[in-house]
Amino acid sequence: MASVLRSPLSLSHHASASATSFPTAPHILRNLPPLQRRSCDFKNQIVCQSSYGEVTFIQPPKSAPSKADLDASLKIKLLSAVSGLNRGLAASEDDLRKADEAAKELEAAAGPVDLCADMDKLQGRWKLIYSSAFSSRTLGGSRPGPPTGRLLPITLGQVFQRIDVFSKDFDNIVELELGAPWPLPPVELTATLAHKFELIGSSGIKIMFDKTTVKATGNLAQLPALDVPRIPDALRPQSNTGSGEFEVTYLDSDTRITRGDRGELRVFVIA
């Protein structure tokens, strides 16, 4: 009651023999004797009974949240759902479900993406914070890739996508740490998988593989970069053609959601 009485928008006084007019809300608060709530006819209306008769306090109606506020709230929910999952490497089946549900809520609220109109928002260096494909415990996700764990001492570092909408360059940049026998220190590498890209429809992207470049970092940063020879197309397995397609399902100035051609959900933030 106290929170209502402090900021009423309007006041109406029901006719009675002892009717008295109250010109302002502060005047009411100072002079009315203790009120007793009698009834509530509407959600925003409280009728009180005093020795002066009935007094109705009308509360401000609660405004619906704006679309921007709703999107921001759902985005926070998604980022919270994927935090602490080590890009998806530590995700359980329940984590995968929660992340997918949170992404779908944000996608539905924001509506379809139109890359033809918002191509400039793709520009930049994006950091991968979640991939449902990493739950398979391989760096390739649902595609062929080296396993993480004890078979090969590979530790996955940060993963980025560098997109240039003018040159149509689309690079996947992966930081790796390779274990070495004691007492040698681990070898730190950055692998850049260079692609070209083109739009498919209003929200689809197709990437075409160009080359892979590996550069040592850390203690071996002085070594030159190495271009990894490309496997001839005739010898490349059908499951690894070097190209891929995905759909951008959410995009704003700092967050991007994509869904791959094999069902992978990925979440990026601008780096």
In this predicted model, what pLDDT tens digit does every residue of 13-50 receive, in sequence order? 444 444 444 444 444 444 545 545 444 445 555 555 55
Of the pLDDT bands very low, low, confident and very high (cuts 50, 70, 90), residue 233 is low
Of the pLDDT bands very low, low, confident and very high (cuts 50, 70, 90), residue 152 is low
Determine the Cα–Cα distance for residues 128 and 74; give it in Å rounded to an integer: 19
**Three-state secondary-structure class, residue 45:** strand
Determine the Cα–Cα distance for residues 56 and 38; give it in Å rounded to an integer: 10
pLDDT at residue 245, as a whole number? 94
Residue-averaged pLDDT of the chain: 80
Render pLDDT for 52-105 as a digit per residue (tens, 0 to 9).
565 555 666 677 788 899 999 999 999 999 999 999 999 999 999 999 999 999
pLDDT at residue 128, as a whole number? 97
Which residues, listed in sequence order, are joined to residue 57 by a DSSP beta bridge? 11, 46
